[in-house]
């Protein structure tokens, strides 16, 4: 059998819109392109390196330099980079093509070889190390067969596909792909490519340090050492900015076609007759969507895609209000629950899996010494508050964030109908990131507060030292500190926000992600406090549902052993950054705002007075929905949100921003372009 020929194609041109001429700029005594080519010479698997540039006269300098260094050069259209790759593969007779960009002077040969080896071992058509990033951006490697490259050349019609070479390949479900993960990954993506002057200065600083160590080529660990020892400061621009701008450039401001939603609204008519509010969860009802525009009833879900009762499909950025971090219908999780349920799942006495899951949570969660289970977040927060009151023999509670539907908390909101006045007087909201406000509140009623319950993090990150101050103030006033981690727990990482920030509460509540959609929650905390559950009555029939516990055990298996968090970060970062880049390109930088973590972010549109612009937000969401994206006001990220789905969402973003931009340009009130009423939120709990 013929040994496949492996050829690296380095795409290079002088006409960069962000840093013209960068390819041949001086990089510590030699052109930037030369640094890339020298580094690739250290690869043990590449048979040849070809430089692919354009026919534009400005790129003559690139072709001339590469030829003097004895590299084969091909030249093609300036914007159709894909056709240049086909030409390079043809003239070099490549079987396997490795894509490298010339703006990556800190690439390393071992990184290239690792991805090539992974590609060959897996027997796939395409492999890359960029989704998720486990090396800095600027060490990007994409490997694909010549056959797949040819398919892309014939079928890719979008300008973005041809400019960026591989998007068509990454979108096609029938192409076997490998997301290659390097060992000892870089935990947060770093930027090592060159698009702006600050990137160039960073690379110059690193190479000045490396040159003192020898001639090279240098492997990844040597470059990483140089980055640290040189104290070089990476550039501040957004990773993948060029791709986001390409999608935006290609988008139009035309309105998307309305969806066929006849069955959805037929079901709504029936539901209105038998279900108050037509839904079991307020945030899942039609009230939070644009009636007449968005679907009301869903039929099925798989991964990050849901199908409504009319057969329309959507990339789901709601994910059941956060729990499905492994996506809908995860086979391993569902199988674990199914196998357990076949043997019974709501027993007359405790089952050993309750102990096993509790032991595991005690290992993973810093504050956990004992565990009690529930079915939803409100069970857990209400139980934690009841135990805190019993332990301290006090009644008042300070609250910050959203803590569920039960009387003790919901009475603090505008949705307090049915809550006794006496109960409403016992809970007192305080603002986030304001320790003085908490201290003042607790001081206003000395020795009367049983607990401070708060979301340690939601869309807004705590100020440095804030959570430590909260703990000190709470304990100084004799109260217990409860972290409500129903949303943050296992969503940002194992162990919850308390592990991330190093602040251990007395009690904590977890739910949502722990079951990946299976109903389970828990209260964890100090043993002396948790022991109070033996007297404070918190008990219900389905708290010991072992099918849900089996699901949770499998979720924890996957979270501990897999790449879930890397994938969530990769997808969430691209959506977060892409939305910002496109908003700025549309002239909406000060209008569109987004906050939060890549796994869970919230966005808004504001008017010239800084107030919420719900009409513009609704217009943006209308366009997204009709282009196949289901969304409320947050990005709820699943690990199944792959490159193809991310690109679909980003493309929808681009069209939606163009639509808003056009409305502003024409002086159109966004409400005039809406095909339904503006959704009105139930209340605002997080401030």
Catalytic residue numbers? 402, 484, 512
Residue pair 437/463 in contact (Cβ under 8 Å)? The answer is no
DSSP secondary structure letters along 212-262: TT-S----HHHHHHHHHHHT-----SPTTHHHHHHHHHH---PPPPPP--H
Residue pair 198/235 in contact (Cβ under 8 Å)? The answer is yes
Distance CA 371, CA 522 (A): 7
CA atoms within a 13 Å half-sphere pointing along the CA-CB vector of 421: 0
Distance CA 572, CA 454 (A): 25
Element (H, E) at 635: strand 634-636
Distance CA 279, CA 272 (A): 9
Angle (CA) 595 597 603, round 5°: 30
Distance CA 366, CA 369 (A): 8
User: What does the radius of gyration of the chain's CA atoms come to, in whole angstroms?
Assistant: 28
Residue pair 503/468 in contact (Cβ under 8 Å)? The answer is yes
Distance CA 106, CA 668 (A): 48
Distance CA 309, CA 383 (A): 37
Distance CA 25, CA 102 (A): 11
Q: CB neighbours (10 Å) of residue 393?
A: 7
Residues of the chain by 3-state class (helix, strand, coil), percent to 5: 45, 15, 40
Residue pair 547/340 in contact (Cβ under 8 Å)? The answer is yes
How long a stretch of residues is the chain? 687
Distance CA 73, CA 671 (A): 55
DSSP secondary structure letters along 428-462: EE--TT-HHHHHHHHHHSTT-EEEEEE-S-SSSPP
In the structure encoding, which two tokens stand for residue 600, read together?
């869970």
Distance CA 570, CA 184 (A): 17
CA distances 665 to 272, 585, 657, 674, Å, are 41, 14, 12, 17
Dihedral pair phi/psi, residue 244, rounded to 5°:
-65, -40
Q: CB neighbours (10 Å) of residue 431?
A: 12
In the structure encoding, which two tokens stand for residue 62, read together?
């690139």
Residue pair 253/586 in contact (Cβ under 8 Å)? The answer is no
CA atoms within a 13 Å half-sphere pointing along the CA-CB vector of 570: 26
Q: Which of 512, 537, 416, 387 is nearest to 397 (CA)?
A: 387
Q: Is the dihedral of CA 666, 667, 672, 678 positive or negative?
A: positive
Q: Which of 211, 195, 93, 92 is nearest to 140 (CA)?
A: 195
**What is the distance between the terminal CA atoms of the chain, rounded to a whole angstrom?**
66
């Amino acid at each position: 059998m013929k040994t496949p020929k492996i050829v690296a194609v380095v795409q290079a041109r002088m006409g960069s819109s962000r840093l013209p001429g960068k390819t041949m700029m001086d990089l510590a005594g030699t052109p930037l392109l030369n640094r890339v080519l020298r580094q690739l010479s250290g690869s043990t698997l590449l048979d040849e390196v070809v430089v692919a540039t354009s026919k534009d006269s400005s790129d003559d300098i690139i072709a001339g330099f590469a030829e003097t260094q004895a590299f084969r050069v091909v030249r093609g259209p300036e914007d159709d980079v894909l056709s240049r790759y086909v030409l390079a593969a043809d003239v070099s007779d490549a079987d396997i093509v490795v894509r490298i960009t010339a703006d990556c002077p800190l690439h390393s040969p071992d990184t290239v070889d690792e991805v090539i080896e992974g590609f060959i071992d897996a027997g796939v058509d395409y492999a890359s190390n960029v989704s998720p990033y486990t090396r800095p951006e600027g060490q990007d490697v994409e490997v694909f067969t010549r056959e797949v490259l040819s398919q892309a050349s014939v079928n890719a019609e979008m300008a973005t596909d041809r400019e960026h070479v591989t998007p068509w390949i990454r979108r096609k479900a029938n192409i076997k792909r490998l997301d290659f993960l390097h060992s000892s990954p870089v935990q947060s993506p770093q930027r090592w490519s060159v698009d702006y002057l600050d990137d160039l200065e960073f690379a110059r600083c690193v190479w000045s340090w490396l040159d003192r160590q020898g001639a090279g080529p240098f492997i990844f660990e040597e470059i990483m050492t140089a980055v640290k020892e040189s104290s070089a400061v990476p550039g501040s621009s957004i990773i993948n900015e060029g791709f986001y701008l390409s999608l935006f450039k290609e988008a139009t401001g035309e309105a998307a076609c309305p969806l066929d939603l006849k069955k959805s609204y037929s079901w709504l008519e029936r539901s209105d007759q038998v279900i108050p509010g037509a839904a079991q969860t307020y945030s899942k009802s039609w009230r939070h969507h644009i009636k007449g525009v968005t679907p009301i009833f869903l039929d099925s879900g798989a991964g990050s895609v849901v199908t409504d009762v009319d057969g329309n499909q959507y990339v789901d950025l709601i994910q059941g209000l956060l729990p499905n971090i492994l996506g809908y219908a995860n086979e391993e999780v569902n199988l674990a629950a199914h196998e357990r349920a076949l043997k019974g799942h709501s027993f007359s006495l405790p089952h050993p899996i309750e102990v096993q899951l509790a032991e595991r949570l005690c290992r993973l969660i810093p504050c956990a010494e004992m565990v009690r289970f529930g079915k939803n977040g409100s069970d857990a927060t209400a139980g934690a508050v009841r135990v805190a009151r019993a332990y301290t023999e006090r009644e008042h509670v300070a609250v910050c964030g959203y803590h569920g539907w039960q009387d003790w908390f919901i009475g603090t909101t505008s949705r307090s109908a049915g809550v006794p006045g006496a109960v409403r007087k016992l809970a007192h909201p305080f603002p986030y990131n304001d320790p003085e406000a908490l201290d003042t509140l607790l001081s206003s009623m000395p020795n009367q507060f049983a607990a401070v319950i708060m979301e340690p993090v939601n869309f807004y990150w705590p100020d440095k030292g804030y959570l430590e101050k909260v703990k000190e103030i709470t304990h100084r006033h004799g109260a217990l500190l409860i972290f409500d981690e129903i949303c943050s727990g296992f969503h940002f990482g194992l162990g919850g926000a308390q592990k991330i920030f190093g602040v251990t509460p007395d009690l904590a509540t977890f739910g949502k992600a722990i079951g990946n959609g299976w109903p389970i929650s828990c209260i964890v905390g100090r043993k002396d406090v948790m022991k109070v559950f033996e007297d404070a009555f918190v008990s219900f029939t389905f708290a010991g549902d072992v099918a849900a516990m089996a699901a949770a055990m499998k979720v924890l298996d996957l979270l501990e052993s897999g790449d879930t968090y890397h994938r969530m970060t990769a997808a969430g970062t691209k959506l977060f950054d892409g939305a910002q880049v496109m908003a700025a390109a549309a002239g909406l930088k000060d209008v569109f705002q987004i906050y939060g973590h890549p796994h869970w972010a919230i966005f808004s549109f504001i008017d010239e007075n800084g107030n919420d612009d719900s009409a513009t937000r609704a217009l943006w969401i209308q366009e997204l929905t009709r282009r196949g994206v289901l969304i409320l006001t947050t990005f709820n990220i699943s690990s199944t949100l792959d490159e193809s789905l991310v690109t679909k969402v980003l493309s929808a973003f681009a069209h939606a921003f163009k639509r808003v931009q056009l409305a502003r340009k024409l002086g159109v009130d966004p409400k005039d372009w809406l095909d339904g009423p503006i959704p009105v939120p139930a209340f605002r709990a997080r401030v």
